[in-house]
């Protein structure tokens, strides 16, 4: 994982998303899919979340526009200390791996670990400590087994017919 792979992953996901694709492909993959990396997956998962947030656009309803707050603060005022700002600023972006602190704060908090090192530690922690959950319901599992059995039977039937010729 390096700057090039990060750049390529972003473009590979962002451009199709902006064009209307409804699937982001290849998260965690390196070397054209020859290598897969858990840390890369976590970084790109965060990136994909940001892309999806971007695709949702800017909310233009009354609550998000906060015209009442603009009127309250008035010309020459500031919004940074306003309660509305505090209540809503985390909704814009809440990265878990990307560090937006100053260089000094980043060094102090993370001992200078870059995003890949933080993602790698998180991936190891998840693999060692989080229970693996089966994402398939019993019903869906049965349906998939039925589809596989039907496909296998059709394949065997076609092979038998070819053998007879």
Give the mean model confidence (pLDDT) for residues 45-61.
88
Instruction: Write down the pLDDT at residue 116.
Output: 94
Confidence of residue 63 (pLDDT cuts 50, 70, 90): confident
Q: Is 52 in contact with 66 (CB distance < 8 Å)?
A: no
* 135 has pLDDT over 90: no
H or E element at residue 121: helix 115-129
Give the mean model confidence (pLDDT) for residues 28-41.
89
Instruction: Write down the pLDDT at residue 42.
Output: 95
Q: Is 14 in contact with 51 (CB distance < 8 Å)?
A: yes
CA distance 89 to 70: 15
In the block, tokens 């076609």 appear at: 158
């Amino acid at each position: 994982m390096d700057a090039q792979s990060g750049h390529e992953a972003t473009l590979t996901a962002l451009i199709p998303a902006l064009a209307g694709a409804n699937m982001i492909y290849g998260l965690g993959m390196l070397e054209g899919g020859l290598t897969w990396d858990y840390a890369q997956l976590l970084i790109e998962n965060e990136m994909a979340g940001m892309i999806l947030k971007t695709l949702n656009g800017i909310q233009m309803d009354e609550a998000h526009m906060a015209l009442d707050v603009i009127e309250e603060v008035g010309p020459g005022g500031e919004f940074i200390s306003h309660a509305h700002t505090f209540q809503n600023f985390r909704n814009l972006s809440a990265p878990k791996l990307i560090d937006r602190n100053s260089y000094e704060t980043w060094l102090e908090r993370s001992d200078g670990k870059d995003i890949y090192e933080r993602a790698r530690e998180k991936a190891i922690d998840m693999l060692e400590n989080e229970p693996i959950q089966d994402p398939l319901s019993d019903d869906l599992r049965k349906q998939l087994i039925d589809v596989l059995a039907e496909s296998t039977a059709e394949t065997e039937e076609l092979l038998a017919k070819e053998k007879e010729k």
